[in-house]
Amino acid sequence: MTGGTGFLGRHLIPRLCRAGYTIRLLTRQPEHYSWLARYPRIEIVRGDLRADRIIHQAVQGCRFVIHAGGFFRFWGKPEDFQSTNIHGTENVLRAALDAKVERLVHISTVAVIGQPDPVQVMDETYPPNPVEPYQQSKLQAEQLALRYFHEHKLPVVVLRPGAYYGPMGEYAFNRLFFTDPMRGLIMQLNRGRYIIFPAFIADVAESVMLALARGRVGEIYNICGDSITHKEGFDIVCHEAGLFSFRPPVPDWLGIMTARVMEAIARLTQREPFWPLNLRSYVYNYWRVSNEKARRELGFVPTDFRSGARQTIAWYRAGKPDHLPELDC
C-alpha cells in the first residue's frame, strides 16, 4: 500500500486490519507516525514512489496493491507533481505487473475534470479537461493505470474521490469549510451558489474495500457524496458548530485579484499562499458529480454531509487528535 500515512490511509488501514489483511506499507519516514504501532499486522518498507527498486521489492508476494500515494497541493512546481504522481505511479504499475497481483486499486480524483460544465451532471464518461499541474498529473497517472489494464491485462480499478473532508485532515476542503469558519473566516463567493463535491474520508476508505471485493477491472468510479452548494455547506457547518453565520459577499474578481497578489508574495517567500490561484478550478465552479455507478456496482452508500460535518466538528472540538480510538483493530 502506498499513501498509508496520509489522510486516506489513516482511515483505510484500520479497515484493512479489521478485515484480516496483512499490510505492507511504503512510507518515507515511518518514525514520524507513532500511531502505526497500534496495528500489529503492518510491515513497513521505508521508501518513496520514486524508488523503483524498493517498490518492486515491496510488491513481491502481495495479492493486492492499493496505490493511494501522491503529491497534492494547490501550489507547486509542475515537475514535483510529475515525478511523484506520474513516474511514481508507473513504478507501482510495473512492480504490480511483475508481481502478478490479483488487483490494483488506483486512487485518482474527480478533480481531473478540471473545468466542469455549469449545468451538466458529470458521470465517469464526462471528458476530463485538467487546468492545473496537480489535475494534469493525476489524469496522466489514471490514463497510465488504464493503459496497463488494456495493454498488459493488469487488473486495475480506478477510484475518483471527490474533495476529502473529515477527522484528521486540515488541508483543502477541511480548511475552507471547517478550519477557516471556526476561526471566523468564511470566503463565500457568488452568494454561495457554486457547487462542491465533498467526499467524507471514511466513505472513501470504505470504497477501497468495496473496490477490492466488487470493482470491475478497467472501470472508473466516482466516489463522493451528493453535490451541494457552498451556501448549503456553510449553513450546515455553522449550524452544527454553533458559529455566527454572517458572510459578507466576496465578488469573484476580488478573490482572483487577492490570489494573484498572494502568489506574487509566495514566489519570494517560497511558501504556499493562503489563497492560491489554482483554487479557481475547485471553488469557482459547479461540480455536479454523479455517484450512481459506484452506488449501483460497488454498493457505495455516501454519508450525508450533515452527519459527516458533525463528526468532523467533533474531532476539532476534541483538540484534533492524530488518532481516533474507534479506528483501532
Least Cα distance to 161 among 233, 231, 210 occurs for 210
Number of domains present in the structure of the chain: 1
Residue at 72 is within a domain: yes
Amino acid symbol at 167: P
State the pLDDT at residue 305. 98
Residue at 185 is within a domain: yes
CATH number of residue 283's parent domain? 3.40.50.720
pLDDT tens digits along 247-262: 878 889 898 999 999 9
Residue at 2 is within a domain: no
Residue at 110 is within a domain: yes
Domain span at 222: 7-327
C-alpha cell at 309: 460535518
12 touches 164 (CB < 8 A): no
Q: How many residues does the chain have?
A: 329
pLDDT category at 322 given cuts 50, 70, 90 is confident
pLDDT tens digits along 56-82: 999 999 999 999 999 999 999 999 999
142 touches 112 (CB < 8 A): yes
